[in-house]
């Protein structure tokens, strides 16, 4: 199938976390033992940075506070490359497993670490594992109260860990008690009454490249709107140490097709247009959307 370039640019985002910090392995790898594992996030993130430099693309990097605290030079390298810096929390805990006070403390800690490194405000956020759901809508108020202006945490689909399938799939405004937030949701292809995730991560590794590019281009053309693409550094690191787990689902989700991700990214970046989230926000906002249930 031939894919024609779309005139609509899409957002390229990276969730900067290491292979042992993913939600799928949190039972096998307690957070207090993270320092015992071989860190690979610097090298794997730099692989993505080299790809973006090759294709002259600037993206948005949501950086885990734990990573930023230990590797500030990586944050500086990302920032000096012209990329947008956002928070991905400090401890990578699902929001709906926290109290509001715990979430606020984690949010502030991550934000302040990043701001101290780049000497600029950090006002863009993505929740670990897209865990702003109907069970954690209170987090939106806290984000606005703490000075965040853009969120990219909501996935308009059904999933065992995340998802708000009735959420507007386009960029829109969320009203909170502390002011408005701009929401750039994860991308879904709407077919036969289903919202099919097509915007990156494990879905990018699972689907053939032609299907991902077809889906993104369909959304660009049919709805004349940008798509949200996301990737993790560990997804371009096929040689990462294996985490022993009894969960077949976790093994499948984490390790499927790691060896082909970088090559697929390279080809997609050569065929489609991408930019940072800041290129789209504030100028593509629709009317306030409150249909979150």
Q: Tell me how far apart the alpha carbons of residues 164 and 168 are, in angstroms, rounded to a whole number.
A: 9
Cβ neighbors of 123 (< 8 A, separation 6 or more) are 147, 148, 149, 150
- pLDDT band (50, 70, 90) for residue 248: confident
Number of domains in the chain: 1
| pLDDT of residue 199 exceeding 60 | yes
Q: Which of 70, 46, 188, 64 is nearest to 125 (CA)?
A: 64
Domain that holds residue 184: 10-279
Domain for residue 289, yes or no? no
Average of pLDDT values for 42-59? Answer: 98
**Residue recorded with tokens 């991560």:** 201
Domain for residue 2, yes or no? no
Domain for residue 175, yes or no? yes
| pLDDT of residue 6 exceeding 80 | no
Q: Which pLDDT tens digit goes with each residue over 99-122?
A: 999 999 999 999 999 999 999 999
Domain for residue 293, yes or no? no
pTM of the predicted model over 0.95: no
- pLDDT band (50, 70, 90) for residue 159: low
| pLDDT of residue 289 exceeding 60 | no
Domain for residue 5, yes or no? no
Cβ neighbors of 104 (< 8 A, separation 6 or more) are 142, 146
Cβ neighbors of 185 (< 8 A, separation 6 or more) are 152, 154, 155, 156, 167, 168, 169, 170, 171, 228
Domain for residue 151, yes or no? yes
Could you tell me the CATH number of the domain that includes residue 256?
3.20.20.370
Domain for residue 226, yes or no? yes
| pLDDT of residue 178 exceeding 70 | yes
Average of pLDDT values for 52-69? Answer: 98
How are beta strands 179-183 and 172-176 bridged, if at all? antiparallel
| pLDDT of residue 278 exceeding 60 | yes
| pLDDT of residue 2 exceeding 50 | no
């Amino acid at each position: 199938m031939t894919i024609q370039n779309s005139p609509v640019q899409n957002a390229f985002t990276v969730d900067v976390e290491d292979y042992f910090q993913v939600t799928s392995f949190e039972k096998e790898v307690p957070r207090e033992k993270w320092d015992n594992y071989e860190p690979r996030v610097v090298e794997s993130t730099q692989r993505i940075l080299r790809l973006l430099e090759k294709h002259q693309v600037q993206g948005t990097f949501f950086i885990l506070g734990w990573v930023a605290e230990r590797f500030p030079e990586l944050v500086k390298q990302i920032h000096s490359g012209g990329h947008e810096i956002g928070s991905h929390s400090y401890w990578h805990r699902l929001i709906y497993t926290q109290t509001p006070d715990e979430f606020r403390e984690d949010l502030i800690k991550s934000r302040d670490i990043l701001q101290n490194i780049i000497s600029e405000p950090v006002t863009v956020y993505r929740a670990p594992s897209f865990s702003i759901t109907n069970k954690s809508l209170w987090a939106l108020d806290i984000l606005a109260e703490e000075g965040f202006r853009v969120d990219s945490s909501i996935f308009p689909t059904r999933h065992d860990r995340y998802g708000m399938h009735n959420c507007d799939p386009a960029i829109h405004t969320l009203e909170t008690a502390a002011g408005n937030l701009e929401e750039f949701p994860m991308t879904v292809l709407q077919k036969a009454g289903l919202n099919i995730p097509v915007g990156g991560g494990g879905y990018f590794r699972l689907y053939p490249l032609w299907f991902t590019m077809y889906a993104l281009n369909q959304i660009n053309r049919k709805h004349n709107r940008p798509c949200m693409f996301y990737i993790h550094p560990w997804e371009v690191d096929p040689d990462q140490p294996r985490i022993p787990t009894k969960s077949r689902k976790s093994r499948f989700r984490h390790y499927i097709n790691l060896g082909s991700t970088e090559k697929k990214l390279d080809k997609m970046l050569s065929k489609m247009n991408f930019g940072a989230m800041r290129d789209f926000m504030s100028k593509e906002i629709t009317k306030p959307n409150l249909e979150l249930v």
